Amino acid sequence: MDKALNQLSVPLGQLREEVMSLKSCVSEGIQAVDDRMTKQEDIRRKKMCVLRLIHVIQSVEKIEKILHSQGSKELSSLEGNSSLLTGQVLERIATEFNQLQFHAVQSKGMPLLDKVRPRIAGITAMLQQSLEGLLLEGLQTSNVDIIRHCLRTYATIDKTRDAEALVGQVLVKPYVDEVVVEQYVQSHPNGLQSMYNRLLEFVPHHCRLLREVTGGAISSEKADIVPGYDFLVNSVWPEIVHGLEEKLPSLFNPGNPDVFHEKYTTSMDFVRKFERQCGSQASVKRLRAHPSYHSFNNKWNLPVYFQIRFREIAGALEEALSDTLEEAPDGSSYCLLATHMVWTSLLKCWSDQMFLPLLAHRLWKLSLQILARYSVFIGEVSVRPISSENTKESKKSVSAGRKESSVSLSPSEEQGNGSSPESQTLPSLSSTQLVYVAADLDKLQDQIPDILEMIKPKLEMIGFKNMSCIAGALEDSKTSLSACVPTLNNRIIQDLSESSFTYLKSALEVPRLYRRTNKEVPTKASPYVDSALKPFYRLQNEYKGTLKQPMIHQWLESALSESTQKYYETVSDVLSSVKKMEESLKRLKQARRTATSNPVGTNGGMSDDNKIRLQLALDVEYYGEQIQKMGLETSNLKGFSALTELILTARDQATAEQS
């Protein structure tokens, strides 16, 4: 086996050497082919470079020849169609120049190109100069054909922006410099509006031919349109913005918010009118995407304007929400200055003199803040102590309080916000002021839906359509205000009840008036009953034009229920005391009769105790009659039926003993 393997190894080795030799020959062949292909590629590339350079030289010579021949013709001829001929020649030159530029770019870095470059620069300068001169000539002579040839030439050499820049510098800028004059704007009442009107007149008067040629006008024929230009966007608008920014810097000053608002609205109206002059929606989109458009809009410092307005509204509102609770001015639908200022502030936020579409979100937030601030104010007022002054005195204190508040308004409020309630004495308010607060709160809640109707057109103007969200937020504000109503009602009812019972407890003095005074039998109610009912009469008569009738009815019924309950307890105590005194006197008399033989006789009239009972009965009956005259049912008053039963028993007892 080993011998056989050794015999095979020799021929296998020879075969390997032959294969390796063949592989080497093939590799050498492949390398030779690659080398030749590389040389051919290099030759082809060099040939292309040579051809490009030849094209460059040929194009340069051809253009120079055309320019030379055209120059000779212009010197020897002054025909009317020379401008048109020049335009046609420039189109030929532009076509050739376009090819020259293409081949020159492809031949970049070649030594020969560097030698030819000065000639190319000269051609470029001459072509640019000729195009500029031709375009200006066409514009000055209103020659549509010259303008069309010139613009087509600019488009051929991809220099449309140069043509637009030239129009801006030569045609637009002088007009803008003439129209935009700060002294004129400031010295005339409608100077800014007049200036904008003159700027808008530029397009129809001076850009008519350009728009017809480039398709920006409705009357343009599609066959003769030169596409690729938008002179309104790239020529007119940038120069107008540059002129306004450079020559009218005071235009964007937000220091005076009223003047700023007027200037801004007038300027935005000008922008909208300028957009309407654009030939298409695509042109309007290009205008709005232009850097100068954004620059113009960014010049208007709307956040600073809003801050100034915010301070105006918040400052006036906080001054009105003072401790003095001043009365609203004449003609206001509200009773208090505080509520009047709240509603006035809301109206001001959305008035045409203040509202700006880009600030709608901030003004909406401010509106909710105003309502929230008023809700906090009502909560603070509802816990103040009620003074015992009468109406006239309370009104005097209001006017006196105004003078005091003007001295220490801001510092006391700012410090008060950070101190605890226990460290301060809450200012008191009169009953009248408390009623005014409740009346204003009720009226403001009724007017909250009017806010939605007021702001709806403004929000639709900016494309906002989710009115359910706005309505929900206003409903939340209304709910917050409604949460203050029960506390206010309870305070007013409590004040009415206490004011009434201050006089009703005079029933305790009835025994003193009749005991051992020998007064006649009572025939009418005591004066204290009328005094006790005066607060209710005043509420019903003086505030019927201010408060809703159901609200007055609710307050009267609740307050009278509390007063009647306390009155019942007072009368019951008096009758019990009278009965005890009567029994004590009887026992004393019986003791005296047994001690002496000559008993003390009576005068035969009504006893003092029965006079007291009868007086109380008359008082209660009169009390019930007056309540019914107010339009209330005594059956709805808690404790009145028990009071009536108590008095009927007393009257029966008095009349029975008399009979």
Region 234-241: mean pLDDT is 93
Residue 398: pLDDT over 70? no
Residue 88 has a pLDDT of 64
More confident residue, 644 or 227: 644
In angstroms, the CA 351 to CA 430 distance is: 35
Coil vs helix vs strand at 230: coil
Q: Which residues pair with 327 in a beta bridge?
A: 336
Region 190-199: mean pLDDT is 92
More confident residue, 208 or 530: 530
DSSP character at residue 169:
I
Query: In this structure, how many other beta carbons lie within 10 angstroms of the beta carbon of residue 134?
Result: 20
Residue 598: pLDDT over 60? no
Residue 390: pLDDT over 80? no
Tokens of 598: 């000559």
DSSP string covering 346-381, please? HHHHTSTTT--GGGHHHHHHHHHHHHHHHHHHHHHH
More confident residue, 124 or 418: 124
Res. 146 pLDDT band, cuts 50 70 90: confident
Tokens of 563: 């007063």
pTM over 0.85: no
In angstroms, the CA 587 to CA 134 distance is: 138
Res. 400 pLDDT band, cuts 50 70 90: very low
Residue 415 has a pLDDT of 37
In angstroms, the CA 554 to CA 496 distance is: 12
Tokens of 198: 């003159």
Res. 378 pLDDT band, cuts 50 70 90: very high
Residue 366: pLDDT over 90? yes
Coil vs helix vs strand at 381: helix
Residue 214: pLDDT over 50? yes
Residue 70 has a pLDDT of 59
Res. 82 pLDDT band, cuts 50 70 90: very low
Res. 207 pLDDT band, cuts 50 70 90: confident
Residue 535: pLDDT over 70? yes
Residue 582 has a pLDDT of 78
Res. 412 pLDDT band, cuts 50 70 90: very low
Region 639-647: mean pLDDT is 89
Residue 221 has a pLDDT of 54
Region 301-305: mean pLDDT is 94
Residues 337, 326 contacting (CB under 8 angstroms) = yes
Res. 443 pLDDT band, cuts 50 70 90: very high
Res. 428 pLDDT band, cuts 50 70 90: confident
Residue 6 has a pLDDT of 79
Residue 592: pLDDT over 80? no
Res. 594 pLDDT band, cuts 50 70 90: low
Res. 68 pLDDT band, cuts 50 70 90: low
Residue 90: pLDDT over 70? no
Closest alpha carbon to 120 in 96, 89, 88, 151: 96
Res. 188 pLDDT band, cuts 50 70 90: confident
Coil vs helix vs strand at 327: strand
Residues 166, 138 contacting (CB under 8 angstroms) = no
Phi, psi (rounded to 5 degrees) for 233: -80, -45
